[in-house]
Structure 1
Amino acid sequence: MKKKISIFLILILCTVFIGILSGCSDNSIGTQPVQKEEAVKEVQKDEANKTSDKQDIEAKKEIIIDQNGREVILPEKIDNVVMTALPLPSIYALTGEAVDKIVGMHPGAKSAIENSIMGKMTPELVNKETGFIEGTDLNIEEVLKLKPDIAFYWGSYTNQQEQWEKAGIPAIAVKTQGGGDALETLSSWLKILGKVFNKESRVDEVIKYGEKTLADIQSKTDGIPVEEKAKALILFKHSESEIVVPGKGHYGQFWIEATGGYNVAREINVTANVNMEQVYKWNPQIIFISSFTETMPQDLYDNNIEGQDWSKVDAVKNKRVYKIPVGVYRWYPPSGDVPLMMKWMAKHQYPELFEELDMKEETKQYYKTFYNYELRDDDVEGILNPAKAAANGTGGLGKQ
C-alpha cells in the first residue's frame, strides 16, 4: 500500500514538473515578439531624439531677411564686423554695441569720420582698414584677412553680393526704403542692427523719437498752401562740370517736402545733371548743398564757379544757401542723426515758424541721450558747419 502511494506521489510530482517546464518554454516563446517590438521602439525613439536635436539646433540659428529679400543665417558669435555701406557705422553707434567690433569700412565712411565729431567720439574707428574696397569694387582676398563674422553692404551692388556668398561670409544687404524716405530707411536699418546685435529695445527708442519729431514738424507745416511753400533745391553733387540735383525717389525729395517745403526739382526721377538755364527756371528761394561735394555756400555767393552764374538765383541774392551738416555721418543720406536733420531742414525753410527751435541745444541733447556723449560748443559748431574735406572718398557712389 505504501509502495503504491509513493509511486502515485512520484507520478504527480513528475506531472507538475513537466507542466512547469512546459510553461517556462511557452513563456519564452511568447516574449520574443514583445522583445522585438520593444527593440524597434527603442530604435525609433533614438531616431526621433536625433531628429529633435537637429531641429533644436536649426531653431537656435537666428535668420534675418535682408533688404534684398535674402535669408541670412546669423553667426552665434559676432566679434568682427565689416561695413561697406557708408552710413552704417554711424547708425551702428546708436545700438550701443562696441565699436571695436568694426574691423573694416568704406574709405568714404572713414573720411566722414575723420572730418566729423564721430572721429572724436570714436577715435578707434579712424584707424580701421579701408584698403579692401574702392568705389563699389570689393577685393575679397583682402576682406578675408580681416576675418569678418558678418558684413553689411549696399544692396544695389550685386557684384559684392556674389563675392560675399562665394566667400561664405554672412552678408546683410541694406538699401534705401520708401522711395527715398530717410526716416523709414533709418528705422529699417536700426531694426536690422537691433536684431543682429540683440539691441532691439534700445534702437526702438530712436525710432519712436524720429517718428515723434516728424509728427511735430508736420503739425506746423501741413496747413501751408502749395503756393506759399518754401521753394528749395538741393545740390547733391556739384562742380564746374556738373550740377546734380535730386528729385522723386531720392533723399532730397523727402528732406524738403516732409519738412514742409516744395522741391523745385521734384519732376526729376531720382537724380539728374542739369544746366544753369534749368536752375534759372526753377529759381529756388533756398539752396542746400550736400557734403558729397566740396562746394560751399560762399562759392555761390562769390560766384567763382567757372561757367556758372549763380548771382541771378534768388537763394543766392538773399543769402539763403546752406551747407548740410555732418554729425556722426553726412546728414544728407540717412545717418544716426536723421531726427536732427529733419529739425534743421524745418528751421531753415521756415525760420519764423520754428523760431523757438535752437539747433545747438537740440544737437547737444540728442547726442547726450542717444550716443551718451557730451558735446562742447565747438563740437556743435563743427557739426553744423562742416568742412569741405567731408566730401573726400565719395566719388562714384549713389545714395550713400
Structure 2
Amino acid sequence: MNTPEALPRRTLLKGAVALGGAALLPGCGTSDTTSEKLVVTDQRDKKISLSGPARRIVTLPMPAASIMIAVDRSAKHLVGIHDASFVAARDGALGTMFPQVLKVPHDVGTQDFAPNVEGILALKPDVVVQWASQGDEIVQPLENAGLSVLGVNYGKLEDVGDWFRMFSAALGKPERGRAMATRLDAGRAAVEAVAAKQTARAPRLLYFNRFSDSLTVQGAGTFNEDYVRLVGAENVSSDVKGLVEVDLEQVLDWDPEIVVLDNFDAAMPDDVYGDRRWRDVAAVKDKRVYRAPLGGYRWDPPSHESPLMWTWLAQIAFPNGTDGGLRDKIVEDYRYFYNHAPTPSEIDKILWTEANGASADYDQFAA
C-alpha cells in the first residue's frame, strides 16, 4: 500500500514511494439485499456475504474508523480499531464527539497492519476492514480464521468515494454512501471553481509528511501534491516522486514560501521557527509555517473531510483576511457526518489556532 497511512516508518525512510493506488474495480461498494444475505463487493472485486447489516466491525486501515463513523453517524458498531486510529481520535475531534470510541480496543494489529487474529476473533466481528493492496499475508490469516474481510485500497479521491459506498452497503444503508460520494465530488468542484478565479502568483509550498525524525516530503504523484495544485499553489518537491526523505540542503535549495506540517508526528511551527538552521528559508522569514488541521480524522490524507482541508489550504496559500467560510463549513459538515455542531473552542482545536497563532495571516481563522 503506497500511502502515508499504510506505510510503516521503516518503509518510508527507504526513499521514494509512489502514491498511485490501484484503479477502482467495477461494482465496488455495491450490495445485494434481494436474497436473505447481504452481499458487499470489496476493492478486490470479491463478494463478501453477510447475514445482515454489520453490527460488529473491526477496522485496521488508519482512516477507516473515522470514515465508518461518518457513514454510520455513530461509533456504536465499532468493536476494534488500529492504534493509529485511536491516536487520531484521542488527539483530534473524534474522541470529543464520540467518547465511546476511546474505549474501543485498539490492539487489533501491528504498525505494519499484521492482524492480531486471536484478539480480533475474541471481538466476534461481523466484518473486518483490512488493506487489500499490502499483500495477501495480512489478509489471509483473517480469512483463514473464518472472518469476513472487506479489502480496501487507498490513495486517491475515487478510493474514498468507494469506501463510502462499500461501508454503507455493509451497514445496510447504501443510500448514505452514495450521498457522501456525491457530496465529496461537489466539494472538489467548489474548490476548483474558486481556484479558477485566482489571479495571484502561485506560492511555492512544501508539504512534510514527516518532520521530527526525518524530512519526508510529498512529491509528485501524491494525493497531497494533487490538492496543492488544486488550490493554485506550486509543490516545490514535484521534481521527486512519491514520499521521499530529503536533507536540509535540498529544502534550502527549494526555498519554499509556505511549509505545511502534517499530523503524523509532533512537529509544530515553533519547532521550525526556533531552529536556526531554517532561518534563511523564505517560509520561516515570512512566518508561513502551518500545522495541518486535525478534525474527525487527519485532514491531510484522503477522507470525507478533504474538502475542508482544501478550503483551509486555499486560504493559507491566498490569504484575504477571511476564512473563506471555513468555520461555517466545519459546522455544516460535522452536523452532516457526525450529527454534532462543534463549538468555537472545538473548531479552534481542530485548526490548531494556538499552535499556528504566530504564523502569518492565521488570524483569518479566528472565531
**TM-score range with shorter-chain normalisation?**
0.7 to 0.9
Distance in 1 (CA, whole Å) between partners of 2:333 and 2:73 is 18
Residue segments in structure 2 that go unaligned for 5+ positions in a row = 1-31, 356-367
Counterpart of 1:260 in structure 2 is 232
Q: 2:42 aligns with which of 66, 85, 109?
A: 66
Distance in 1 (CA, whole Å) between partners of 2:34 and 2:141 is 25
CA distance 1:258–1:60, change in 2 (3 Å)? farther
The structure with the larger Rg is: 1
Q: Does 1:214 align with 2:191?
A: no
Q: 1:332 aligns with which of 297, 300, 304?
A: 300
Distance in 2 (CA, whole Å) between partners of 1:137 and 1:271 is 22
SS at match of 2:279: helix
Residue segments in structure 1 that go unaligned for 5+ positions in a row = 1-55, 389-400
Q: Does 1:345 align with 2:318?
A: no
Q: Does 1:300 align with 2:269?
A: no
Counterpart of 1:85 in structure 2 is 61
Q: CA RMSD in A?
A: 2.4
Q: 2:208 aligns with which of 220, 235, 259?
A: 235
AA aligned to 1:254 is D
Distance in 2 (CA, whole Å) between partners of 1:98 and 1:329 is 15
Q: 2:174 aligns with which of 197, 200, 220?
A: 200
**Is the Cα contact below 8 Å between 1:97 and 1:197 reproduced in 2?**
no
SS at match of 1:85: coil
Counterpart of 1:161 in structure 2 is 139
**Is the Cα contact below 8 Å between 2:54 and 2:172 reproduced in 1?**
no
Superposed CA offset, 1:96-145 (max 9, x none): 35422111000110011111111111111101112232212222111111
Q: Does 1:191 align with 2:143?
A: no
Counterpart of 2:330 in structure 1 is 363
Distance in 2 (CA, whole Å) between partners of 1:249 and 1:70 is 28
AA aligned to 1:279 is V
Counterparts in 2 of 1:266-305, with a 5 A limit?
Answer: 266-303=238-275
Superposed CA offset, 1:259-317 (max 9, x none): 2211111222221100111112211111110000111011111116xxxx111211111
Measure how far apart 1:369 and its partner are.
Answer: 3.0
Distance in 2 (CA, whole Å) between partners of 1:120 and 1:66 is 31
Distance in 2 (CA, whole Å) between partners of 1:98 and 1:117 is 14
* Structure 1 length-normalised TM: 0.75
SS at match of 1:138: coil
**Is the Cα contact below 8 Å between 1:90 and 1:328 reproduced in 2?**
yes
Distance in 2 (CA, whole Å) between partners of 1:185 and 1:355 is 32
SS at match of 2:259: strand
CA distance 1:376–1:231, change in 2 (3 Å)? same
Distance in 1 (CA, whole Å) between partners of 2:247 and 2:316 is 25
Measure how far apart 1:337 and its partner are.
Answer: 1.3
SS at match of 1:312: coil
Distance in 1 (CA, whole Å) between partners of 2:334 and 2:74 is 17
Counterpart of 1:21 in structure 2 is none
* Structure 2 length-normalised TM: 0.81
**Is the Cα contact below 8 Å between 1:116 and 1:386 reproduced in 2?**
no
